[in-house]
């Protein structure tokens, strides 16, 4: 099966100063998602960056860098194509080699309740319809990468904790 690729001209770059070589900068491949945000590949990991434009076309300065989201490798054309054409669940399954946990919807509901948010408030703040949010919350639809990131930020959790919860085992002899 041949991988589909995002055209090279649709890939931008984020300039980082190189501490080892002051004459040259490190250029991270990036996919711009808004005027101030881009996904970048740094050390083969996908990261969300806050960016600002430069005088060069398709080159941005890094303002801030978030924690890595996924290990994706270094073929930016394939990664960014997948990021723009797959649902969050498909992307995560391909790059994390796992499927969405069955209890994912319970974590969404609990996180929403914890923050005392209504379905309408969550949908409005993440920019999706109430119907689409309910589909996600009930496990009938997978969120896009952007929506998953917005939900995790709104609900005060990482994407991994919200959509890939770990089971907690408590042994009776540990309970005091």
pLDDT digits (tens, 9 = 90+) for 43-69: 778 888 889 999 998 999 988 877 677
**Confidence at residue 137, expressed as pLDDT on a 0 to 100 scale:** 80
Position 173 pLDDT exceeds 70: no
DSSP-derived 3-state class of residue 175: coil
pLDDT greater at residue 130 or residue 17: 130
Mean pLDDT value across the chain: 79
**96-125 mean pLDDT:** 77
> pLDDT over 70 for what percent of the chain?
84
**Confidence at residue 25, expressed as pLDDT on a 0 to 100 scale:** 85
Looking up tokens 């639809």 gives: 141
Element (H, E) at 108: helix 104-114
Position 163 pLDDT exceeds 50: yes
**Dihedral over Cα of 84, 86, 66, 136: its sign:** positive
Strand duo 12-17 + 59-65: pairing: parallel
Please state the φ and ψ torsions of residue 60, each to the nearest 5 degrees.
Answer: -130, 155
**Confidence at residue 136, expressed as pLDDT on a 0 to 100 scale:** 81
Strand duo 25-32 + 59-65: pairing: unpaired
pLDDT greater at residue 70 or residue 112: 112
Give the pLDDT band of residue 101 (cuts 50, 70, 90).
very low
Position 102 pLDDT exceeds 60: no
CATH class of the domain at 87-176: mainly alpha
Contact present, 35 and 125 (Cβ < 8 Å):
no
Domain boundaries, the chain: 8-85, 87-176
DSSP-assigned letter for residue 19:
S
Contact present, 50 and 39 (Cβ < 8 Å):
no
Residues 6 or more apart whose CB falls under 8 angstroms from that of 62 comprise 14, 15, 16, 28, 40, 49, 50, 51
**140-165 mean pLDDT:** 80
Residues 6 or more apart whose CB falls under 8 angstroms from that of 169 comprise none
**120-137 mean pLDDT:** 88
**116-137 mean pLDDT:** 89
Tokens standing for 88? 């969050």
What is the per-residue pLDDT across 8-33, written as a single tens digit (0 to 9) for each?
A: 888 899 988 777 777 788 889 999 98
Contact present, 61 and 15 (Cβ < 8 Å):
yes
């Amino acid at each position: 099966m041949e991988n589909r690729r995002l055209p090279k001209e649709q890939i931008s770059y984020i300039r980082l100063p190189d501490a080892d070589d002051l004459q040259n900068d490190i250029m991270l491949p990036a996919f711009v998602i808004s005027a101030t945000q881009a996904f970048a590949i740094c050390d083969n990991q996908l990261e969300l960056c806050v960016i600002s434009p430069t005088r060069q076309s398709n080159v941005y300065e890094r303002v801030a860098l978030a924690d890595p989201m996924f290990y994706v490798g270094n073929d930016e054309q394939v990664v960014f194509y997948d990021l723009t054409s797959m649902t969050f669940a498909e992307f995560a399954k391909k790059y994390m080699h796992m499927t969405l946990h069955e209890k994912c919807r319970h974590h969404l509901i609990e996180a929403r309740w914890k923050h005392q948010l209504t379905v309408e408030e969550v949908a409005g703040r993440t920019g999706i319809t109430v119907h689409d949010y309910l589909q996600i919350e009930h496990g009938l639809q997978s969120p896009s990468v952007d929506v998953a990131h917005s939900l995790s930020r709104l609900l005060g959790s990482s994407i991994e904790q919200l959509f890939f919860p770990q089971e907690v085992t408590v042994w009776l002899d540990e309970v005091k």
